[in-house]
Amino acid sequence: MALPPTDDTISAIATAPGVGAIGIVRVSGPQAFEIAARMFEPASGRDVRSLDGGRATFGHVVAAGEVLDEGVLLTFRAPRSATGQDVVEVQVHGGPSLLRSVQEACVRAGARSAGPGEFTLRGFLAGRIDLAQAESVQALVSARSDAARRHATLGLTGRLSARLDDVQRHITIVYASVLAVLDYPEEGVPDAEVAAPLAAAIGSIEELLATVDAGRAATRGARLALVGRPNAGKSSLLNALLGYERSIVSDVPGTTRDYLEAPLELGRVSVTAIDTAGIRDTDDLVEASGVRAAERLAAGADVVVALLDTSRPMDAAEGALVERIRGPRTVWVASKADLPALWTPESLGIEALGVSAQSGAGVVELRDRLEERLVGDAGASEIWVVHERHEAALREAKEALERARSAPDDLRGLDLESALRSLARITGRTDVAEETLAEVFSRFCVGK
């Protein structure tokens, strides 16, 4: 895929579609001030082309002799702008038709209409931000929960990049030792120079990888399926978790025949909760299709809430179902805890949380347990990996480092290089390894 040109001047509406108090049209490129001069008249009578960067100037937006609105022109001079180029931002009132007219005025004055991501691309190419930071911009504006927003902000401020720089430095130090002994093979690389920094690098990568599920839950929103036998209380529990009556509840087994979804906030993560049809063998074609959907949804969910109704006698079907949905993603609930229990989940080797949808007992604990399951080990980490691209590169780097652990000295270098390349793909920066190498070798004595 070819990149768009970056040496011309682009403009775009920068605020969301719809009506707002303020709308912004942004212009970036060498002609930015020239273009602004053709459509913005400062109230002071000053020439826009003579304005300094870092200024706000009040005036009128004018197109084809017609005043479109009064507004404020923000000016930024290269390289001190988000794109590294000359940038002006025209702030007017936030109406869709008005903003379109301002944008058209920019185009008539010589700007090209920007495509998606072009401003951020210019920032990246100008070295204002690295690739991981550019992606954080995307994560930040599409964040669906507070947690997702906080982590995107950390990514934007370069925390992920800084962490990766550290890992790259560790690997580079090992790489330097490996290169240095290639000339003196009889000495070999002392294990201490390799094992410890390699373990440190692998440990850091594993820490980041442990946040992948939480990152996914926080940004894309995880899926949580409620499953169990008919009448186990799934719909009642969904309603209790949501705090309103979303799903129909009745004492007729087989009430829920289709599945239904509802957004649910669980502390730091937002999930889609899915109520499903009770799982049983049935001759009813519609219900059977609902049962198949329930099994498919359980298989695809990030977390499965499995209900065991201990207020009714356990039978063989219960045992069979338990075996099918046992797994690392399953959170067990003993439902209807307000009623006397006829059996205990422990008898099936299961640790279940007692919850009553009717009295509300255990609902708060269940919410905590679900949040904990979704956030997991990531809770302690301030950076979460939210992009699949980053996850893939981290896994590759980890595999290469593990190969390097056991490889003979003369082959280790290749695995280390490959790990460095994988990490550099995340930030788009290759200079970190080079700088570290230069630094390491500068400490060697002359002649060695």
Ligand X SMILES: Nc1nc2c(ncn2[C@@H]2O[C@H](COP(=O)(O)OP(=O)(O)OP(=O)(O)O)[C@@H](O)[C@H]2O)c(=O)[nH]1
Positions touching Mg ion (CB under 5 A) are: 234-235, 255-256
Candidate list 5, 203, 253, 319; residue touching ligand X; CB under 6 A: 253
> In terms of CB distance, is 256 or 335 closer to Mg ion?
256
| Shortest reach from residue 320's CB to ligand X, in Å | 16
Partner that binds at residue 44, options ligand X, Mg ion, none, CB closer than 5 to 8 Å by kind: none
| Shortest reach from residue 226's CB to ligand X, in Å | 8
Q: Is 225 in the site for ligand X (CB under 6 A)?
A: no
> In terms of CB distance, is 250 or 347 closer to ligand X?
250
| Shortest reach from residue 154's CB to ligand X, in Å | 40
| Shortest reach from residue 389's CB to Mg ion, in Å | 39
Beta bridge partners of 305: 226, 331
Q: Which of residues 329-368 bind ligand X (CB under 6 A)?
A: 335-336, 338-339, 356-358
- d(CA 107, CA 103) in angstroms, rounded, equals 6
The answer to whether 261 and 272 are in contact (CB under 8 A) is: yes
Three-class DSSP labels, 183-226:
CCCCCCCCHHHHHHHHHHHHHHHHHHHCCHHHHHHHHHHEEEEE
- d(CA 348, CA 314) in angstroms, rounded, equals 10
- d(CA 81, CA 89) in angstroms, rounded, equals 11
How far does Cα 331 stand from its chain's mean position?
A: 24
Of 324, 336, 233, which is closest to residue 278 (Cα–Cα)?
Answer: 233
Q: Which of residues 278-317 bind ligand X (CB under 6 A)?
A: 278
| Shortest reach from residue 293's CB to Mg ion, in Å | 13
- d(CA 70, CA 188) in angstroms, rounded, equals 74
The answer to whether 13 and 98 are in contact (CB under 8 A) is: no
CA-CA-CA-CA dihedral for 283, 285, 286, 290, to nearest 10? 70
Candidate list 232, 273, 308, 426; residue touching ligand X; CB under 6 A: 232
| Shortest reach from residue 269's CB to ligand X, in Å | 24
> In terms of CB distance, is 344 or 358 closer to ligand X?
358
Please give the residue ranges that form the binding site for ligand X (CB under 6 A): 228, 230-236, 249-251, 253-256, 277-278, 335-336, 338-339, 356-358
